[in-house]
Amino acid sequence: MNPLRRLAGQTAIYGLSSIVGRLINFLLVPLYTRVFVDPGEYGVITEMYTYVAFLIIILTYGMETAFFRFSEKEEPAKKNTVFSTSLFSVLSTSILFILLVIVFRQSIAETLRYPDNVEYIVLLGSIVGLDAIAAIPFARLRAENKAMRFAVLKLIGIAINIITVLFFLLLCPWLLQHAGPSVQQFIGLIYDPRIGVGYVFIANLAATIITLLLLTPVMRSVKPEFNPQLLRTMLIYALPLLVAGLAGWVNEALDKLLLKFLLPEDIAMTQVGIYGAVYKLSILMTVFIQAFRFAAEPFFFAQASAVNAKETYARVMNYFVMACLVIFLGVTLFMDIVKHFIGPEYHAGLPVVPMLLLANMFLGIYFNLSIWYKLTGQTGYGAWFAVAGAIITIALNVWWIPKIGYYGSAWATLICYFSLAALSYLFGRKFFKVPYDVIRILLMIALAVAIYFISHYTGELPVHLMYPARIFLILFFVVMAMLLDPSLRAEIKRIASR
Over residues 15-34, the mean pLDDT reads 69
- The pair phi, psi for residue 378, each rounded to 5°, is -95, 55
CA 36 to chain CA centroid, nearest Å: 24
Percent of the chain's residues with pLDDT above 90: 33
Percent of the chain's residues with pLDDT above 70: 90
| CB-based contact 47:256 (threshold 8 Å) | yes
Whether the predicted pLDDT of 78 surpasses 80: no
pLDDT at 492: 64
Work out the pLDDT band at 49, boundaries 50, 70, 90. confident
Whole-angstrom Cα distance, residue 5 to residue 224?
A: 36
Work out the pLDDT band at 276, boundaries 50, 70, 90. confident
Asked if the structure places residue 465 within a domain, the reply is no
Asked if the structure places residue 424 within a domain, the reply is yes
Show the domain range for 140.
3-436
pLDDT at 270: 87
Whole-angstrom Cα distance, residue 138 to residue 154?
A: 9
**3-12, 89-98, 429-438: lowest mean pLDDT where?**
3-12
pLDDT at 22: 62
Asked if the structure places residue 233 within a domain, the reply is yes
pLDDT at 399: 94
Query: What count of other Cβ atoms lies within 10 Å of the Cβ of residue 256?
Result: 24
Instruction: Give residue 138's identity as a one-letter amino acid code.
Output: F
**137-141, 317-321, 467-471, 484-488: lowest mean pLDDT where?**
484-488
Of the candidates 258, 227, 236, 296, which has an alpha carbon nearest to the alpha carbon of residue 393?
A: 258
pLDDT at 273: 86
Asked if the structure places residue 490 within a domain, the reply is no
Average pLDDT, the chain: 85
Candidate ranges 17-31, 322-336, 451-465; pick with highest mean pLDDT: 322-336
Q: Write out pLDDT tens, residues 338-382.
A: 888 787 888 888 999 999 999 999 999 998 888 888 788 787 788
- Domain count within the chain: 1
CA-based angle 19:24:30, to the nearest 5?
130
pTM of this structure? 0.72
pLDDT at 24: 67
Asked if the structure places residue 213 within a domain, the reply is yes
Over residues 223-249, the mean pLDDT reads 83
Of the candidates 157, 159, 127, which has an alpha carbon nearest to the alpha carbon of residue 24?
A: 159
Asked if the structure places residue 256 within a domain, the reply is yes
Candidate ranges 5-14, 212-221, 370-379; pick with highest mean pLDDT: 212-221
Of 30 and 492, the structure prediction assigns the larger pLDDT to 30
| CB-based contact 256:325 (threshold 8 Å) | no
